[in-house]
Amino acid sequence: MHHPVPYDVIIAGAGPVGLLLACELRLAGLSVLVLEQAGTPDSQLKRLPFGMRGLSVPTIEAFDRRGLLDDIAMPQQKPSTGKDSQEKKEPRRQAGHFAGIAFDHDNIDSARWPYRLPGPAGTNMAAEMEHIEIALAARAGAMGVEIRRGLGVESLDQSDDGVTVRAGNETFHARWLVGCDGGRSTVRKAAGFEFTGTDPEFTGYSVEIEMADPDTLGQGRIYTPTGMYFQSRPGTIAMVEFDGGAFHRSQPVTPEHVQAVLRRISGTDVTVTALKLATTWTDRAYQATAYRKGRVLLAGDAAHIHSPLGGQGLNLGLGDAMNLGWKLAATIRGDAPAGLLDSYFGERHPVGAQVLDWSRAQVALMRPSPNSRALEAIIRDLIATRDGATYFAERVWGISVRYDLGRSHPLTGRSAPDFELADGTRLGERLRNGRGLFLDFDASPALQALASRWSGRMTYIASNARERLGLSALLVRPDGFAAWATDGEPDMEGAAQAVSRWFGKPE
Ligand SMILES: Cc1cc2nc3c(=O)[nH]c(=O)nc-3n(C[C@H](O)[C@H](O)[C@H](O)COP(=O)(O)OP(=O)(O)OC[C@H]3O[C@@H](n4cnc5c(N)ncnc54)[C@H](O)[C@@H]3O)c2cc1C
């Protein structure tokens, strides 16, 4: 079958990244087709306990900025309102971990994050993978995104003005194709992207088992001379065996195999009586060396893979989608400034590379060797300090993300604070239509005149804010990142340059 009408964009993969990107593109008015290989989104691995995903600050903010936060939150996990980490005073609350080494809430000095304001988006939140996908698919469908399941992209051809995709017996055309088809991305391979990185040291297992002697194993995360196992609740176990990743995908996971590995790692004679669920993974850490080839782009796991150790892959991929959506939309509409689409790779590749290194550093700490145990002792000392806990919190929660957009103001390149405006609305709400914002706290006539020249592409708001953090005006991109800011009298030339850099020539 042949579909003669080209779509603006075809997205391969209805995982969380493909679905969020589809919503972003549709919000900008484009026609979007999502092709998903799996016939049904159902999978036990997307449900608790294995489907549990920790969401970072940029992800929570992104969902808030699109009005999706309530849909994504698990009923018992509604995001807290009010101030984040330092508000509640309970002794030694674990705020996160690095290779299993916990850092405490009470040690974190959030005064070092001068541009964070309290809002519905707290610092971390747990969500269920299946629930995230259902919420995003529902939003995409309601907005008019076409989703075809059971149709995996098999091959593609691209020309100067479009891409032809074959899936099943059908052929589809689009002006652009984005591969959001996961770690083993067909799009990445078919379009010839280079994918480089480091090979695995271990096979990781996530299993749900029954044991004849459940008390044999310890609870929590336990390092042993031969590996590590983590029993989060009785019978739910994650473990890593440093076999060079040899077992992963080489054979089916049987109860006998799980028992043998568990015995080797734990040094016990534990007996597995039933294997209810099992999946394996490795610490292979690879990243595409480009995120765009002609009219084909990559986002999410298709662009980068690493071990699930610090739980950052989903957050990284959703950040790609938020960064790419508005840039690709402007490119297709024809009003994108030069270099806008290339800034997707320029901004997101370094963030991805950092996450890969974060996962590699954890592997180095987990190796069953005296060297790693010695390193672990040092990290334990450092993470227990105020500087250490604050540093780890910044990295784990994603607060440290800053795009290199020039250093004219300490806020440039960072996620914009969730200002509460005079009418009670918050910045997060004002971004829900997907347009950029020019916030002018002092209602300067000169800035208003400047912003009016781009009024079709961004919203100018002259309003004071409840807490303005010393700022007098700022420019916020559609993805919520600050592109320009000033504390005092605005430098009109700098402001005009920043607006045209991100929103193109004046209308
Ligand atoms: C055990 C485990 C725990 C994790 N914990 C966390 C965590 O706490 N926090 C976190 O941020 N991340 C975590 N991750 C990582 C996270 O799940 C992934 O990074 C995330 O799912 C990537 O989303 P994606 O949309 O890019 O890819 P995927 O979720 O893999 O979705 C890709 C989609 O594309 C489809 N597809 C594949 N091939 C094709 C094709 N040829 N054509 C069309 N469709 C295709 C697939 O069926 C799938 O639906 C964890 C991962 C694992 C394995």
| pLDDT score of 418 | 96
Quick check: is 330 in a domain?
Answer: yes
pLDDT at 84 over 60: no
pLDDT at 253 over 80: yes
Asked if 66 and 166 sit in the same domain, the reply is: yes
Minimum CA distance residue for ligand 1 atom 6: 311
| pLDDT score of 311 | 83
Residue 154 host element (H or E): strand 153-158
| pLDDT score of 88 | 41
Q: How many structural domains does the chain have?
A: 4
Cis previous bond, 91, omega within 30: no
Quick check: is 42 in a domain?
Answer: yes
Q: Angle, nearest 10°, between helix axes 313-333 and 342-366?
A: 170
Any atom of ligand 1 within 6 Å of the Cβ of 58 = no
Asked if 383 and 239 sit in the same domain, the reply is: no
Report the range of poorest mean pLDDT among 44-53, 160-169, 320-329: 44-53
Asked if 158 and 222 sit in the same domain, the reply is: no
Mean pLDDT across 374-387: 96
Region of 247 (left: φ > 0; alpha: ψ -120 to 50; beta: rest) is alpha
Mean pLDDT across 310-336: 96
Quick check: is 344 in a domain?
Answer: yes
Any atom of ligand 1 within 6 Å of the Cβ of 398 = no
Domain extent, residue 393, equals: 93-115+367-401
Strands (E), 168-202: 170-179, 195-198
CATH number at residue 461: 3.40.30.120
**Sheet holding 227-233: strands in order across?**
220-224, 227-233, 236-241, 203-211, 272-282
What's the gap in Å between 348 CA and the centre of ligand 1? 18
Mean residue pLDDT across the chain:
93
Asked if 300 and 313 sit in the same domain, the reply is: yes
Which atom of ligand 1 sits closest to the CA of residue 183? 30
Quick check: is 87 in a domain?
Answer: no
| Dist CA 190 CA 163 (whole Å) | 12
Last residue of a domain, one of 357, 384, 401: 401
Tell me: the pLDDT tens digits for 118-169? Answer: 777 677 788 999 999 999 999 999 999 999 999 999 999 999 999 999 999 9
Asked if 330 and 397 sit in the same domain, the reply is: no
| pLDDT score of 123 | 77
Any atom of ligand 1 within 6 Å of the Cβ of 128 = no
Asked if 32 and 135 sit in the same domain, the reply is: yes
Which atom of ligand 1 sits closest to the CA of residue 186? 41
Last residue of a domain, one of 350, 383, 401: 401
Q: Which of 181, 208, 355 to mutate to test the pocket of ligand 1 (most atoms within 8 A of CB)?
A: 181
Any atom of ligand 1 within 6 Å of the Cβ of 314 = yes
Any atom of ligand 1 within 6 Å of the Cβ of 319 = no
Nearest to 58 by CA among 130, 124, 155: 124
| pLDDT score of 125 | 87
pLDDT at 435 over 90: yes
Mean pLDDT across 430-446: 97
Asked if 341 and 248 sit in the same domain, the reply is: no
What's the gap in Å between 287 CA and the centre of ligand 1? 15
Q: Where are the alpha helices (DSSP H) in 238-312?
A: 255-266
Burial of 279 (0-12, 13-18, 19+ CB in 10 A): middle
| Dist CA 210 CA 263 (whole Å) | 14
Quick check: is 410 in a domain?
Answer: no
CATH number at residue 156: 3.50.50.60
Asked if 276 and 334 sit in the same domain, the reply is: no
User: Tell me, what amino acid is at 19?
Assistant: L
Burial of 195 (0-12, 13-18, 19+ CB in 10 A): middle
Any atom of ligand 1 within 6 Å of the Cβ of 50 = yes
Minimum CA distance residue for ligand 1 atom 9: 311
Tell me: the pLDDT tens digits for 444-489? Answer: 999 999 999 999 999 999 999 999 999 999 999 999 999 999 999 9
Quick check: is 422 in a domain?
Answer: no
Which atom of ligand 1 sits closest to the CA of residue 238? 1
Quick check: is 492 in a domain?
Answer: yes
Asked if 100 and 128 sit in the same domain, the reply is: no
pTM value is 0.95
Which atom of ligand 1 sits closest to the CA of residue 312? 11
Residue entry with tokens 């990743």: 245
What's the gap in Å between 301 CA and the centre of ligand 1? 6
Cα dist from 44 to 40, 112, 287, 412, whole Å = 12, 41, 28, 42
| Dist CA 55 CA 53 (whole Å) | 6
